[in-house]
Structure 1
Amino acid sequence: MGNDETVLRIFHALLPETNAKDRDAAVDALHGAAKITVWQRDQPCESAFAGGRIGCLLTGVVRRYCVRADGHRQILDLPVAGDFLGLVPSSASLLTEAVSSDTQIASFRPEQIATLVERYPAIAAMLRDRLTAAVRRLEDHLLVQGRTTALDKVGGYLMLLRERTPQSSSNGLFLPISRYDIADHLGLAVETVRCCGKR
């Protein structure tokens, strides 16, 4: 099970500003409904979303990918803490796997989400915000993919990643994923990503 304080803090941060009493009630309702699971690096975690469950990534990173006909992996998305998965039904061929150890996912049955949304306007607003953020993330990725050179693609990708992940320094860049993940997400060879990273 996940650490309750961490879970409460994340839910509190995700909910939009409202009066404290309503926000606390919504956080408690989310926490009470959540099924929290912990996953280790490279462990498939599709079962967290079985039966149409909707998940919130609490800690860590997951990769969502498919395996192409030639056997190569194509990463379609790399959700990080605070991102929701399952808001839109996806293809059965899309796989989900933990990238980092001790990845925590809070998941909810569809009927739980429907009840929470009806009862707590702040939760409805949060889910709209998270869905909008997911669409914006995919649009940003398409714009990066459309760049001409590999260096521009990798540079643009790293800038987006910096905006989405907590950084301990303003000078460096903490990468929660490997160069192989970056290569698979951008459709580049890992050697190309490695060369771009050395410039």
Structure 2
Amino acid sequence: MLVRVKGSSHQPSDGRLAALAGERVFSSEYTYRRGAELFGEGEDAEYVYQTISGAVRTYKLLPDGRRQINSFHLIGDMFGLENGAIHRFTAEAIVETKVRIVRRRSLLDAMANESTGVTNLLSLITLNLQHAENHMLLLGRKSSLERVAAFLIEMDERLVHPDELTLPMNRRDIADYLGLKLETVSRALSTMRDKRILRFNGVTQRQVVLMDREGLAKLDA
């Protein structure tokens, strides 16, 4: 559910959106409550999104009712730029999340008028393809322990190796991203804790300190 709107269409975009367009395009800012849907699978792909605060998950519901998360969109990430007219995934706010929204047509028009527009678009598409390829490899070729290790390495890299990883997603989200059962994820994390590769801070155990990054990398060998 939308809880606050800022700016209507009068705020210039910045960050990666501006870099992608090559100029400042106008945008709106929206804040969504935890669990609120930003867009649904099969809906018109009218807007491109950038996470300002919080985090977003994009996923599909499988025919048997299971959920497969394909990506987590953290602060600064862009998403929703489809190669077709409709969204292939559903997007939900993991926690209270603020996003910047730009009309896809406005963004593509701005890029078309810039000498670097095509290059910037290809760069974004390449990044998305690399993520999809890595995710397919993770789901198809790695053991459960390797998958959880790979996930932590991914989060550590995306958050620029902080002293403490603050994960917005819970273990169910991690399980649905890795194609594992919740209990399997918990066992893998406990194994890493027992090996002193990591430790948890806080009651929710979403604050993770990586004590041995080299050991973590070896688990993902």
**More off after superposition, 125-134 vs 70-79:** 125-134
Partner of 1:44: 37
Greater per-residue helix proportion: 1
Determine which of 171, 183, 186 is the counterpart of 1:194.
186
Change (3 A) 1:189 1:60: same
Partner of 2:27: 34
SS at match of 2:37: coil
Q: C-alpha distance in 1, partners of 2:73/2:135?
A: 12
Q: Deviations over 1:130-176 (max 9, x none)?
A: 2221111121212222334211111112111211225531xx43322
How far residue 198 of structure 1 moved from its aligned partner, in angstroms, is: 1.1
Please tell me whether Structure 1 or Structure 2 has the larger radius of gyration of its CA atoms: 2
Answering whether residue 93 of structure 2 is matched by residue 98 of structure 1, we say yes
Answering whether residue 138 of structure 2 is matched by residue 144 of structure 1, we say yes
| Alignment map for 1:129-168 (pairs within 5 Å) | 129-168=123-162
Q: Deviations over 1:106-137 (max 9, x none)?
A: 22223211321133345554433222211111
Answering whether residue 72 of structure 2 is matched by residue 78 of structure 1, we say yes
Change (3 A) 1:91 1:116: closer
Partner of 1:107: 101
Contact 2:30–2:100 at 8 Å: present in 1 too? yes
Q: C-alpha distance in 1, partners of 2:182/2:51?
A: 27
Greater per-residue strand proportion: 2
Change (3 A) 1:174 1:166: farther
Contact 1:60–1:104 at 8 Å: present in 2 too? yes
Change (3 A) 1:11 1:165: same
- Residue identity (%): 25
Partner of 1:15: 19
Q: C-alpha distance in 2, partners of 1:136/1:78?
A: 14
Select the structure with the greater relative contact order (CA < 8 A; seq sep ≥ 6).
1
Partner of 1:183: 175
Q: C-alpha distance in 1, partners of 2:149/2:143?
A: 10
Q: Deviations over 1:17-44 (max 9, x none)?
A: xxxxxx7xx2xx23xx112211121111
How far residue 81 of structure 1 moved from its aligned partner, in angstroms, is: 2.3
SS at match of 2:136: helix
What letter corresponds to residue 182 of structure 2 in structure 1? V
Contact 2:46–2:105 at 8 Å: present in 1 too? no
Contact 2:58–2:91 at 8 Å: present in 1 too? yes
What letter corresponds to residue 161 of structure 1 in structure 2? M
Q: C-alpha distance in 1, partners of 2:188/2:139?
A: 15
Q: For structure 2, which runs of at least 5 residues remain unmatched after alignment? A: 192-221
User: Normalising to structure 2: TM-score of the pair?
Assistant: 0.69
